[in-house]
Structure 1
Amino acid sequence: MNKYGRVALIGAGPGDLDLLTLKGKEYLRKADCIVYDRLCNKKMLELASSDCEMIFVGKANHHHTLTQDKINELLYEKAKEYDFVVRLKGGDPYVFGRGGEEALYLKERDIPVEIVPGVSSSIAALADAGIPITHRGLAKGFQVITAHSRKDEPTNIDFTQLMDEDVTLVFLMGLAHVGEIARGLINAGRAADTKVAVVSNGTTNHQRKVVGTLSNIESLVNEAGLESPSIIVVGKVVGLAADLDFFEKRPFFGKRFFLPKIQSFNYKLETGITEILYNELEERLEKDGAEVVTVVTGKIKPVECDLGFLELATTGDYIVFTSGNGVRSFFWNLFEKQGRDIRAVSNFRFAVVGEKTAAILREFGIVADLIPEKQTGAELAELLKKNVSEGVAINWLCGKVQSPEFEKTLGSDYALNKIVCYENVQNELTISDELKEEIRKCDGAIFTSGSNAKAVAGITLPDKVFSIGPSCTAVLKGQGVNEVTEAVDASYDGIINILRY
């Protein structure tokens, strides 16, 4: 029996979190230790368990945290310490990633190794820049070449072997040598007007590209100030970039927003409680092309609560939810803490604050009876007042700290039973000066709750500040933020709408 743990070399892909493979995600969740590179999307690390050891071994151009020999030794030592070690590498481990060297080193020391291929930037970054690496009539094949060299030395590429105009050339790690590459190809016989593109930070929402020819690409790159990682592509297919750059035509591409967020949880009967790692609004913004700068201000946790009102119910009493967290926390209490099932709520009607909360309620097999047109606590209270008969109990499943608008609008004439079933455990935020400056330079700051606004009070915000609703706006204005654009509809859809106009 092998006394050592195993090591998986995982390709993290070109940068886009969604281009990490399913097996890669699964292994990151199971890892005891992750040794990761500079070019990996840091959000991938959030998939790991809270007790997973994270070790950064990134390499910038000629600046190494650890040498390759030291990385090899580190992997070996960690395999002796842990059951499962993940080596997370940008792109694909075997495409100029030195993954083969690491695998051989471990194999020679009887460490079990598994390779999890990744999406190579040599193809994916071009695709998101609107450049297909092959195209009928334009390119019958492609060559991928490393342009990396020792410091201050030429690339040592034999350009005479790269003369076929029907083959797309892709140079990785070559930004510092773009002029040398262009001149080398021209001197070897390629036409000076051969199309060239350089793509920086491909597949990410801060992707940039310049398109030119071998004769002018160096000056265009210098003028644009492109940064590593960058890919150079040479060939006829570059001519398709203007027609196929769907990635860069998304509505928020090129925009950057600051979004403080609260980490939530999910609950399902078949899986129990799981953490929700990504904020839904954050994901939607990123899908639409925006960069999102986030800080986690707190974590939502369900709390055990008294559900004695279930025994006192009369037909027509209401259960009210003003958030999806309330829905999940209630059913967690009902199913997990009390061992009961859906029959316990058969006498009740249900009222929810909006369509999103109604959708979460439907996951538990219940259709909401009341949903206000405008998704605010005040509107929900007004709707209840129109529909609730005298003597009907209103059981509000809510958080420990809540906006007062629902309770205030409902007033004292109704039998309100307030049951706290979850809480927001605040994080102790430490925001570096570097991050503060990054936040200040954003195109806008988005706040989806008053607690998020309070958590970042005192830092300099961008000129444009967006709020999800009246309660959140009131907190911001109380902190001296006078210019606030408020969503008409207090929902993520409402936020997206005001960002677009």
Structure 2
Amino acid sequence: MKYIIGSRGSRLALIQTKYVQEKLAKAYPEHSFEIEVIKTKGDKIQNKPLDKIGGKGLFVKEIEEKIISGEIHMGVHSMKDMPSTPAKGLVFTKSWKREDPRDVLILRTASNLSDLRKGAVIGTGSKRRAFQLLKQRPDLKIVNIRGNVDTRLRKMEEQELDGIILAAAGLKRLGMQDVITQYLEPEEMISAPAQGVLALEVREDQKELQQMLDVFSDEETMNEVCAERNFLEQMGGSCHTPAGARCQKTNDGYRLDAMFGNEDGNKQAYTKVYGTDPETLAKTAVKNIKKQLEGIVYLIGAGPGDPELITVKGKEILKKADCVIYDRLIPQELLDETKAGCECIYVGKENHHHTMKQEQINELLAEKALQYDIVVRLKGGDPFVFGRGGEEAIYLANQEIHCEVIPGISSCIAAAELAGIPVTHRGISKGFRVVTAHDCRNQLSDLNFASMAKSEETLVFLMGLTKLEEITTNLLKKGMNENTPVVVISNAASAKQKTCTATLNTIQEKADQEKLSSPAVIVVGDVVKLQKEIQKPEDTIWHLVTKVGDQPSKLAQLLKDHGYKIKEFQTGEISYKKNLISKEELAKVTYLIFTSRYGVHGFMKQMKAANLDLRNLYDKKIVVVGEKTKDVLMEYGIVADFMPKEAGEVYLCKLMKQEVNKDDVIWYCKGISGGEILKETLESVCQIKEKIMYENKKVIFDVHLQIKDIKSISFTCASSVRRFFDQIKKEEIKEWIENIPCISIGEKTTKQLKKVGVKHILEAKDTTYLSMFDKIKESML
């Protein structure tokens, strides 16, 4: 049989591949072995560092694709250039005996590293090499240099570099060991994992070929490679981060030298471990390295309730967090900002109920700092304003864990401001005094009420709703005027915000009537009188936006950008189905129809699961129901072939009846319900098959707003209409459907609103958020 071996075209790559070819030809004369040169992206781009163009995989992707397709039978690579795991469907065969794994210096004039002049210029394209070299000689200047061995040697002369760093293995295979000035031992430079080892890559199902190649395996090399690459995989190393691992045989077993750092090189860790089991060696090395590279803890103030009141810096760190430890009242929208895989741990404290004691929270922060690079302690308001953030910062400092505080907006000023009250005002208040109303035993704090009663400052009491009566009684006893204005602000900066304004001797009775709930801020002083002048009636008016899925609504953002107060209600969540697509089945399809973004996303997920890509759609005609679905399709790089002039199922039916014939095979990619009209219309004129891609599942929520504070409700689908009004109390439903304008995105949604009994329906001119926004503005008239 003729076996075709894929190789890059560089001189070193071809020498390595010819070495493999000759070994195989000699061992298996009944077969023939030919070499096919394959140009990779990494070979084509020589003027940029690897981490700027995509990493080590750029040297192997094209070769791997040809192995998978069957155009070639195997690929020969340098193992150090390979990702930690091969591409799906491929395997590496057992390792052959490695060449010298050390890095070497090639110097123009100096005889070794210590002899290099101060500020000497060294060329390398490897962060690993650069950072380790600078660790020994911080005075050196490192410049990026890429290309094959001959190219790098030429650049060293042309650019008058003092030296370059290369792998000994490559030079020896090229017969160029004479150019080596100095070999670098692991104590000086830890080489790349599996450096000097050839990677022989074949299809997973090519068992016979694997056996043929494994005959030449070397046990010592295999153990070394196992330890080195296991270390790399567990650390998550790539060309973006400097990682080195060198395992070598000792009299008693093996020794593994390892290093790891961050992208900037300002954090590096080194370890040396001994043992007999390669996997255990790797695991121990990883543990040692991570201990040295323990993460940073950020104490972030999330603000008083509105997710948009977090600072820009706080939000950016939150997005990068590996772990978030958060308190009660943190908005879900902020937790939604975290990246995929971020661990979120709730440690909230409520009156008489602590999920976790403060001492346990302190210990948890230290534990997670060892596990993750970035740990966020997310606290309501500001971390250091009655938030016990100071205790956490002191504990972390004692544990020698780096901690950084990112301030937040405290409710002590924000609550009053959001109620239209400045805590200071010229001629009325010279300042403000902030206190907590209860102590650690949940008793009224030992406060200087005598000083407060005579003060010309605004008084702000946090966490004091249950102590309101005691606060007012003590202030009155110490001589404060009974007509002093007082306001209680409940659930500040949220859709549930309520304010109750009265005087010192009447506030308790009024607060009881209003049935205020915690958290609440109490403000005492003449500045409360300014509320009537500052706050406008429309400041309390809310526009409700229903949505499916947990992502922020684009309509809600549009309203926010124009100054509207909005509250989002998630009525449904999308659950994607496992409706696997086969290549053979897809090949028969002539039309794909999408009537929602979820249908598009679901289909693309199924394509990926079936190991298919856009090339499998080259002969399909793509149909969408409207602009929104068309835009989502464009995100995947696909332009729709057909879209009705007017959005909606009826117009889509008319369009398709004109286009299709009885031989056409149509996949209607849809949700578990809906779309009956389209199917019924087309099944008589073509072969239409429903492909269920997702299910819109019901989400339970609570409507905490009073009807008088609501100006409109927006609906983008019929299911949201049903689910929203199902949540309204029976005794209130009549008032909702008769008094609140409902904004509809289109025909189906309007039909459902009428079915519920809604009296005031404003249907968007077309199915866009901008058109809905126009109707919302119309509802304000």
TM-score, normalised to structure 2, is 0.48
**Partner Cα distance (1:52, 1:408) in 2:** 45
From the superposition, tell whether residues 97 and 426 of structure 1 become closer, same or farther in structure 2 (CA, over 3 Å).
same
Deviations 1:157-196 (A, max 9, x none): 1134436776332211111222232233344443222211
8 Å contact from structure 1 (residues 250, 288) kept in 2: no
**2:651 maps to which residue?**
379
Residues 128 and 246, structure 1, Cα contact 8 Å, conserved in 2:
no
- Which amino acid in structure 1 is aligned with residue 358 of structure 2? Q
Which AA in structure 2 matches 1:376? Answer: G
Aligned counterparts, 1:67-216, within 5 A: 67-151=357-441, 153-162=443-452, 167-216=457-506
Contact 1:6 1:84 survives alignment (8 Å) = yes
Root-mean-square deviation (CA), in Å? 5.2
Counterpart position of 1:236: 526
CA distance in 1, matches of 2:472, 2:664: 77
- Report how many aligned residue pairs link the two structures: 465
Amino acid at match of 1:299: S
Question: Pick from 322, 328, 353: which aligns with 2:595?
Answer: 322
Distance 1:495 1:176 in 2: 43
1:404 lines up with 2:404 in the alignment:
no
Following superposition, the deviation at residue 448 of structure 1 comes to 5.8
Which residue pairs with 1:23 in the alignment?
Answer: 313
Amino acid in the other structure paired with 1:176: T
Identity %: 35
State the alpha-carbon separation in 1 of the partners of residues 681 and 706 from structure 2. Answer: 36
2:693 aligned partner: 423
Residue 299 of structure 1, aligned match among 575, 578, 601: 575
Give the conservation status (yes or no) of the 8 Å contact 2:484–2:504.
yes
| CA positional deviation for 1:491 | 5.3
- Aligned partner of 2:551 in structure 1 is 277
Any idea what the Cα deviations from partners look like across 1:368-388, whole Å, max 9, x if unmatched? 985554x42113333566x86
Residue 322 of structure 1: how far off its partner (Å): 2.1
| C-alpha contact 2:722 2:756 (8 A) present in aligned 1 | no
- Tell whether the 8 Å contact from 2:745 to 2:768 is kept in structure 1 after alignment: yes
**Other-structure match for 2:330:** 40
Correspondence for 2:515: 225
Give the match's secondary structure for 2:678.
Answer: helix
Aligned-pair CA distance for 1:246: 5.4
The 1:129/1:460 distance shift into structure 2, 3 A limit, reads: closer
Contact (CA 8 Å) 1:358, 1:368: kept in 2 or not? Answer: no
Among 625, 639, 647, the alignment partner of 1:353 is 625
Normalised to the residue count of structure 1, the TM-score between the two structures is 0.71
SS of 1:97's partner is: coil
Q: Indicate how the Cα distance of structure 1 residues 145 and 86 shifts in structure 2: closer, same or farther if over 3 A, else same.
A: same
Contact 1:7/1:86 (CA < 8 Å) preserved in 2? yes
- Letter paired with 2:510: L
Deviation at 1:38, TM superposition (A): 1.5
Q: Is the CA contact (8 Å cut-off) linking 2:434 and 2:461 kept in structure 1?
A: yes
The change in CA–CA distance for 1:210 and 1:324 in structure 2 (over 3 A counts) is: same
Of the structure 1 ranges 167-176 and 157-166, higher mean CA displacement relative to structure 2 is found in 157-166
Matched ranges for 1:308-347 at <5 A: 321-326=594-599, 338=613
Give the whole-Å Cα distance in 2 for the aligned partners of 1:368 and 1:169: 66
1:123–1:133 contact (8 Å) kept in structure 2: yes
Q: Tell me: CA distance 1:306–1:150, structure 2 relative to 1, closer, same or farther (3 Å).
A: closer
In 1, Cα distance between equivalents of 2:503 and 2:410: 25
**Partner AA of 1:119 in structure 2:** I
Please tell me the residue identity of whatever aligns with 2:597. G
Question: For residues 221 and 439 of structure 1, what CA distance do their matches in structure 2 show?
Answer: 21
Structure 1 residues 163 and 500: CA distance shift in structure 2, 3 A: same
| Aligned partners of 2:599 and 2:694 also within 8 Å | no
Shift of 1:97: 0.6
Q: Is the 8 A contact 1:210 1:221 kept in 2?
A: yes
SS at match of 1:14: coil
Separation of aligned partners in 1, 2:342 and 2:668: 35
Name the SS for the 1:7 alignment partner.
strand
AA in 2 matched with 1:353: V
Which protein is bigger by CA-based radius of gyration? Answer: 2
Aligned-partner Cα distance in 1 for 2:427–2:641: 57
Higher relative contact order (CA closer than 8 Å, sequence separation 6+): 1
Question: In structure 2, do the counterparts of structure 1 residues 241 and 306 end up closer, same or farther at CA, with 3 Å as the change threshold?
Answer: farther
CA contact (8 A) 2:548 2:570 kept: no
Quick one: distance in 1 between partners of 2:337 and 2:358?
A: 26
Whether the 8 Å contact between 2:595 and 2:629 is mirrored in structure 1 is yes
Structure 1: unaligned runs, 5 residues or longer: 264-275
**Residue aligned with 2:492, SS:** coil
Cα deviation for residue 132 of structure 1 reads 2.8
Structure-2 separation of matches of 1:168 and 1:99? 25
* Amino acid of the structure 2 residue aligned with 1:356: K
Change (3 A) 1:339 1:447: closer
Q: Following the alignment from structure 2 to structure 1, what is the Cα–Cα distance between the partners of residues 487 and 465?
A: 11
Q: In structure 2, what is the Cα distance between the partners aligned to 1:330 and 1:249?
A: 43
Please name the residue that 2:345 is paired with. Answer: 55
Q: State the alpha-carbon separation in 2 of the partners of residues 380 and 217 from structure 1.
A: 61
Give deviations 1:422-450, integer Å, cap 9, x for gaps.
821577x8x8xxx68x5899989998667
Question: Structure 2 counterpart of 1:298, which letter?
Answer: I
